[in-house]
Amino acid sequence: MMRRQQSAPVLLVIGVHRDELAFGAKVAEGLDPNYFQVLRIEKGISGERPRHDQVKQFDQKHRDLYLQILQYLTPTTRLLIDLHQGLDCSKLRADVFSYNSFIPSNFNNLADVARDFKAEVYWYHLVEDTLLTNLETEEFPYDLVAKTPIPLEVWKYSRVPYIGLEIYTHNNGSGSTQEQQFARHLINRLSSMAFKVADIET
């Protein structure tokens, strides 16, 4: 079951992995509802690696879940942010995943946020395949690339730009106030970057 709030320019998805929902909910509490529509997935999939005999079923559930998210995009949706939580006991950091080229050209905006929190942020260009021969055909040279099991319909071919954001917290659960604030600041900055580019192109 999914629950969403009122329509807004940014669709923020929380709880794709059910053990990350508590963190996502806390982050969402501090965002402006005029700009962020929260899609709360009440019964997400496990964040644990499936057993060998469960891989096929798990992959299908994962695909089906993400394709359902597309149904929640409205004519006013301008950005899709998919929030996740990782674990890193050594430092606060974030990984940003997207196919859209506006992020590397504005990466200093994200680096500024990380610097304010004494954290680190990395951007990964999403690709269909990480084989070197395929990467050489990409239009732009990127230092960091990543392959994702998320359907192409979501991160590459959707009319709405997709951004995956993973915040690495010290512990599992809802996270600390600082970790939640770090996530909010990055979400706000990513949104403003996307809106600025969209306004220029229209």
Share of residues in the chain with pLDDT > 90 (%): 65
- How sure is the predictor about 4, in pLDDT bands with cuts at 50, 70 and 90? low
C-beta of residue 144 within 8 angstroms of C-beta of residue 136: no
Residue 190 CA to residue 144 CA, distance in Å, equals 18
| pLDDT at res. 2 | 61
pLDDT of residue 139: 53
Answer for the pair 86, 23: CB distance below 8 angstroms, yes or no: no
48-66, pLDDT tens digit by residue? 776 777 778 878 898 999 9
| pLDDT at residue 142, as a whole number | 60
Q: What is the residue whose two structure tokens read 């909010």?
A: 184
User: Beta-strand (E) ranges in the chain?
Assistant: 2-4, 10-14, 36-41, 79-87, 93-98, 120-127, 145-147, 162-169
Q: What is the per-residue burial (b if ≥16 Cβ within 10 Å, else e) of 5-39?
A: eeebbbbbbbbbbeebbbbbebbbeebeeebbbbb
Contact 13, 83 (CB under 8 A): yes
DSSP 8-class letter at 123: E
Give the pLDDT mean for 190-201.
Answer: 70
Q: Examine the pLDDT at 76 and tell me if it is beyond 70.
A: yes
pLDDT at 197 exceeding the cut of 60: no
The rounded distance, in Å, linking the Cα atoms of 102 and 194 is 7
**Are 166 and 85 contacting, i.e. CB atoms less than 8 angstroms apart?**
yes
Nearest to 93 by CA among 183, 22, 198, 153: 183
Question: Average per-residue pLDDT in the chain?
Answer: 87
- The predicted structure's pLDDT at residue 53: 75
Structure tokens at 191: 């949104």
| Count of CB atoms situated within 10 Å of the CB of 129 | 10
Mean pLDDT on 78-91 = 95
Domains of the chain: 2-201 (3.40.630)
Q: Do residues 176 and 162 make contact, with C-beta atoms less than 8 angstroms apart?
A: no
In the prediction, which pLDDT does 52 show?
78
pLDDT score recorded for residue 201:
41
Least confident of 34-38, 93-97, 119-123, 191-195: 191-195
Q: What is the pLDDT of residues 136-156, one digit of tens each?
A: 555 545 678 899 999 999 999
